[in-house]
């Protein structure tokens, strides 16, 4: 087993914050580019302002929050199948 | 007819896989590693249109039929086999290498099958050879999952055979060509057989059950062949079948939710695999040249990036002994190369520009929008945000970053790194130079993924998905990784139905014991009576002379004749 002792760049929380801000800044940058180009929409919904920003954002939030609720229903201890079945896992 | 055009590609791999079992490590590796290379050459030597015919019991079989669709799948299967062999050479596992090679060979041979009976044979061969990879996991859980896996896959094969027989009666041919569900039961049986292997919704659990139980290399093997063989079969048999659009769209969406809450990262990848199959099925269902090209291209790039992701998690498992997200984190410090390769796989599956998924997934999504399919298109975009979560962010983030769990391990073994490096290079090469992939697709390609509008839209989608993750995670809304299992549809056949059948099983066991006791008693009685009759002390016992024997036989025959004629 190796024992790396040096501090890594990502160990510093300030650097993580920089990355986060960089991501948001990049998001704003591509958003600002959007009105400058023709997006060749196929559907009316794509003409909604900044569709490709808010639709994936809210889809993602929905997926995560819905999954969190789903876990309350579906989660069982790791040995669930071993306890519930005779010769199974 | 020369030998090359008489034998289907893949056959040599199966033979090599069997022969290699008996060889020591050096010659075994030489035989196995050269086999996929030879098969690749074989595939590309054969001209499209090449076919071989065979007449068996009045049936006209076509063990070999070459066209552009079979060639693209055969090509990626050969590449995947070689990469899996390289990856697996970090340890010396004869069963894994040989069964993997037979499995890959069967999958290749199946893609060149021109008739349904030949397809059935190789279809079942993939099931039987691949279950050994599941069992190599070596745990009781792996053995139990392997049994379920085998049962489900053999059932798929039986349905295929049944469908083939019905198809033969209906059409008078076994040729594996395009068919319509309106044909009736024959087509539906074949469709269902393909659907089981393609992980249709509710038929999907064998994948998440079996793949995560295998060895690190076993999962890499398994991730490449069975499901993509089913995709190939659906593309050949059911292109343009509308039903595949809602089925595929459902498959892109529902596994996402399970992947988000799953703690086992190889199981996350298995759900993610299921979700990617959905994109391919939507492409088949649309049935246009662009969508079918998209399906073939997505299968090709998917095998590479999904293999890469399984390779990276296999390396993590090999070094740390776990792939549970709740026990991982901070591994980029110890395994920086593995982390980098994993990120390449993640960027590819997420569809980041310059990576393979950007090319292939876009073809399917564009095909949906070109066809004016609003709801499937929106589901695919929704699912793309989900892919960004489970495979684009979750897998690399929780394994290599997140909270440092203090694992201080060595980097992955050299063979694993070499295989991951080659696969990562191919993921990038397809993204940067897609023309090479276009050149082998079934139809001419008129697709320009690097159109500015397309790049901007994709960057917005990915960036705002990542921002959503960052926002949820920083605010503590992202579900924590906790050990446990999440129930899925397999609960029905693993717990609910066996639970309902338990009283019946008790009655059946009691009846079995009753019958067994009676049979044993009856056999004892018969045995005793025979012993009493023919023992040396009994009237008919002892040794008799040849003459006496002949007299007895003659008397018996005469008696039988008298009885026969008297009637």
pLDDT at A88: 46
Which residues of chain A lie closer than 8 angstroms to B468, CB-CB?
56-58, 60-61, 64
In the structure, what pLDDT confidence band is assigned to residue A89 with cuts at 50, 70 and 90?
Answer: very low
B389–A23 CB contact, under 8 Å: no
* B180 at A interface, C-beta within 8 A: no
pLDDT at B501: 86
Q: Which of A6-15, B135-144, B259-268 has the lowest mean pLDDT?
A: A6-15
B401–A87 CB contact, under 8 Å: no
Residue in B closest to A4 by C-alpha:
B408
A37–B488 CB contact, under 8 Å: no
Least Cα distance to B380 among B351, B421, B418, B337 occurs for B351
Evaluate if residue B22 carries a pLDDT over 50.
Answer: yes
Q: For residue range B44-85, what is the model confidence (pLDDT) as tens digits?
A: 999 888 888 888 888 889 999 999 999 999 999 999 999 999
* A66 at B interface, C-beta within 8 A: yes
Strands B51-56 and B485-486: unpaired
Which residues face B264 on adjacent strands? Answer: B324
Q: For residue range A26-75, what is the model confidence (pLDDT) as tens digits?
A: 999 999 998 888 888 889 999 898 999 999 999 999 999 999 999 999 99
* Section B303-331 average pLDDT: 96
C-alpha to C-alpha distance for B310 and B319, rounded to whole angstroms? 14
Q: How many CB atoms are closer than 10 A to CB B514?
A: 10
B309: distance to nearest CA of chain A, Å? 21
C-alpha to C-alpha distance for B82 and B304, rounded to whole angstroms? 12
Which residues of chain A lie closer than 8 angstroms to B339, CB-CB?
none
In the structure, what pLDDT confidence band is assigned to residue B431 with cuts at 50, 70 and 90?
Answer: very high
pLDDT at B413: 97
Evaluate if residue B566 carries a pLDDT over 80.
Answer: no
Task: Give the residue carrying structure tokens 């079948």.
Answer: B241
* Type and span of the H or E element at B54: strand B51-56
A81–B485 CB contact, under 8 Å: yes
* Section B390-402 average pLDDT: 92
pLDDT at A84: 82
Evaluate if residue B409 carries a pLDDT over 90.
Answer: yes
What letters, b where the CB count within 10 A reaches 16 and e where it falls short, cover A4-43?
eeeeeeeeeeeeeeeebeebbeebeebbeebeeeebeebe
Asked if residue B237 lies in contact with residue B114, where contact means CB atoms within 8 angstroms, the answer is no
Q: Which of A71-75, B171-175, B549-553 has the lowest mean pLDDT?
A: B549-553
C-alpha to C-alpha distance for A34 and A36, rounded to whole angstroms? 5
C-alpha to C-alpha distance for B22 and B27, rounded to whole angstroms? 10
Asked if residue B384 lies in contact with residue B351, where contact means CB atoms within 8 angstroms, the answer is yes
First-residue to last-residue Cα distance in chain A:
32
Among B462, B463, B481, which would you mutate to test the A interface (most chain A Cβ atoms within 10 Å of its Cβ)? B463
Q: By percentage, how much of chain B surpasses pLDDT 70?
A: 98
Q: How many helices, marked H, and strands, marked E, lie in chain B?
A: 24, 3
pLDDT at B109: 97
Asked if residue B413 lies in contact with residue B336, where contact means CB atoms within 8 angstroms, the answer is no
* B23 at A interface, C-beta within 8 A: no
Distances (CA, A) of B357 to B227, B285, B300, B494: 18, 20, 10, 35
B461: distance to nearest CA of chain A, Å? 5
* Section B265-286 average pLDDT: 97
B377–A85 CB contact, under 8 Å: no
Task: Give the residue carrying structure tokens 């990502």.
Answer: A10
Q: How many CB atoms are closer than 10 A to CB B370?
A: 14
* B409 at A interface, C-beta within 8 A: yes
pLDDT at B541: 66
Asked if residue B217 lies in contact with residue B93, where contact means CB atoms within 8 angstroms, the answer is yes
- Under the phi-then-psi rule, with left for phi > 0, alpha for psi from -120 to 50, and beta for the rest, what region is B23? beta
pLDDT at B327: 94
Asked if residue B485 lies in contact with residue A78, where contact means CB atoms within 8 angstroms, the answer is yes
A30–B469 CB contact, under 8 Å: no
Please provide residue A76's backbone torsions phi and psi, each rounded to the nearest 5 degrees: -140, 160
Q: For residue range B529-550, what is the model confidence (pLDDT) as tens digits?
A: 887 777 777 766 666 777 777 8
pLDDT at B169: 93
Evaluate if residue B1 carries a pLDDT over 80.
Answer: no
Evaluate if residue B492 carries a pLDDT over 60.
Answer: yes
Evaluate if residue A86 carries a pLDDT over 70.
Answer: no
The separation between CA B184 and the C-alpha centre of its own chain, rounded to angstroms, equals 27
In the structure, what pLDDT confidence band is assigned to residue B390 with cuts at 50, 70 and 90?
Answer: confident
C-alpha to C-alpha distance for B448 and A23, rounded to whole angstroms? 27
Which residues of chain B lie closer than 8 angstroms to A3, CB-CB?
408
In the structure, what pLDDT confidence band is assigned to residue A4 with cuts at 50, 70 and 90?
Answer: low
Least Cα distance to B227 among B246, B255, B208 occurs for B208
Most confidently modeled range among B48-57, B192-201, B397-406, B487-496: B192-201
DSSP letters spanning A56-77: HHHHHHHHHHHHHHHHHHHEE-
Residue ranges covered by each domain of chain A: 10-40, 48-89
Give the burial class of B173: count Cβ atoms within 10 A of its Cβ; 0-12 exposed, 13-18 middle, 19 or more buried. middle
A35: distance to nearest CA of chain B, Å? 10
Evaluate if residue A78 carries a pLDDT over 80.
Answer: yes
- The mean of the pLDDT values for chain B is 94
Which residues face A75 on adjacent strands? Answer: B486
Q: Which of A9-13, B5-9, B314-318, B534-538 has the lowest mean pLDDT?
A: B534-538
Strands A75-76 and B59-65: unpaired
Evaluate if residue B450 carries a pLDDT over 90.
Answer: yes
* Section B120-129 average pLDDT: 97
In the structure, what pLDDT confidence band is assigned to residue B371 with cuts at 50, 70 and 90?
Answer: very high
- 3-state SS of B165-228? HHHHHHHCCCECCCCCHHHCHHHHHHHHHHHHHCCCCCCCHHHHHHHHHCCHHHHHHHHHCHHH
Asked if residue B157 lies in contact with residue B194, where contact means CB atoms within 8 angstroms, the answer is no
């Amino acid at each position: 087993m190796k024992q790396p002792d040096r501090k890594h760049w990502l160990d510093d929380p300030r650097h993580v914050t920089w990355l986060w801000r960089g991501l948001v800044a990049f998001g704003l940058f591509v958003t600002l580019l959007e009105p400058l180009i023709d997006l060749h929409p196929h559907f009316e919904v794509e003409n909604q302002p900044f569709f490709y920003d808010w639709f994936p954002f809210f889809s993602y939030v929905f997926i995560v929050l819905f999954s969190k609720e789903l876990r309350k229903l579906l989660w069982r201890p790791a040995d669930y199948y071993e306890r519930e079945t005779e010769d199974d896992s | 007819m020369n030998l090359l055009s008489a034998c289907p590609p893949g056959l040599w791999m199966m033979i090599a896989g069997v022969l290699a079992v008996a060889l020591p490590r050096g010659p075994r590796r030489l035989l196995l590693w050269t086999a996929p290379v030879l098969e690749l050459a074989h595939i590309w030597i054969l001209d499209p249109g090449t076919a071989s015919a065979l007449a068996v019991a009045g049936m006209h079989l076509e063990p070999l039929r070459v066209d552009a669709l079979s060639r693209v799948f055969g090509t990626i299967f050969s590449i995947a086999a070689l990469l899996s062999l390289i990856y697996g050479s970090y340890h010396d596992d004869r069963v894994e290498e040989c069964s993997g090679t037979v499995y890959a060979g069967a999958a290749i041979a199946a893609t060149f099958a021109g008739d349904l009976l030949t397809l059935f044979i190789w279809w079942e061969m993939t099931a039987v050879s691949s279950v050994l990879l599941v069992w190599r996991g070596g745990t009781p859980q792996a053995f139990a999952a392997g049994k379920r896996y085998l049962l489900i896959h053999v059932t798929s094969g039986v349905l295929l055979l049944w469908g083939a027989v019905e198809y033969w009666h209906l059409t008078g041919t076994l040729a594996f060509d395009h068919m319509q569900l309106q044909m009736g039961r024959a087509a539906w049986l074949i469709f269902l057989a393909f659907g089981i292997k393609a992980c249709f919704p509710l038929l999907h659990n064998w994948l998440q059950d079996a793949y995560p139980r295998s060895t690190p290399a076993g999962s890499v093997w398994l991730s490449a062949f069975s499901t993509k063989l089913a995709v190939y079969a659906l593309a050949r048999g059911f292109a343009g079948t509308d039903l595949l659009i809602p089925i595929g769209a459902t498959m892109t969406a529902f596994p996402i939710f399970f992947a988000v809450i799953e703690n086992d990262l190889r199981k996350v990848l298995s759900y993610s695999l299921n979700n990617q199959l959905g994109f391919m099925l939507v492409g088949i269902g649309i049935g246009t040249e662009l969508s079918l090209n998209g399906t073939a291209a997505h299968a090709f790039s998917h095998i590479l990036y999904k293999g890469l992701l399984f390779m990276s998690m296999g390396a993590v498992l090999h070094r740390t002994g776990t792939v549970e997200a709740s026990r991982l984190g901070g591994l980029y410090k110890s395994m920086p190369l593995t982390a980098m390769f994993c990120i390449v796989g993640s960027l590819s599956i997420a569809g980041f520009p310059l990576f393979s998924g950007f090319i292939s997934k876009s073809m399917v999504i564009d095909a949906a929008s070109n066809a004016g399919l609003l709801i499937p298109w929106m589901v695919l975009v929704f699912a793309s945000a989900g892919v960004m979560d489970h495979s684009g962010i979750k897998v690399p983030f929780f394994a290599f970053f997140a909270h440092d769990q203090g694992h201080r391990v060595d980097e992955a073994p050299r063979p694993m790194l070499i295989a991951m490096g080659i696969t990562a290079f191919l993921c990038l090469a397809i993204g940067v130079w897609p023309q090479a992939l276009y050149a082998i697709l079934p139809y001419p390609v008129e697709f320009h993924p690097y159109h500015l509008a397309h790049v901007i839209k994709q960057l917005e989608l990915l960036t705002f998905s990542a921002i959503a993750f960052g926002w949820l995670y920083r605010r503590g809304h992202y579900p924590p990784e906790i050990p446990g299992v999440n129930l899925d549809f397999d609960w029905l056949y693993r717990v609910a139905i066996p639970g309902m059948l338990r009283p019946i099983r008790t009655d059946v066991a009691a009846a079995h014991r009753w019958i067994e006791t009676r049979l044993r008693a009856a056999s004892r009685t018969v045995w005793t009576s025979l012993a009493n009759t023919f023992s040396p002390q009994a009237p008919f016992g002892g040794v008799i002379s040849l003459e006496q024997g002949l007299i007895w036989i003659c008397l018996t025959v005469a008696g039988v004749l008298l009885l026969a004629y008297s009637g």
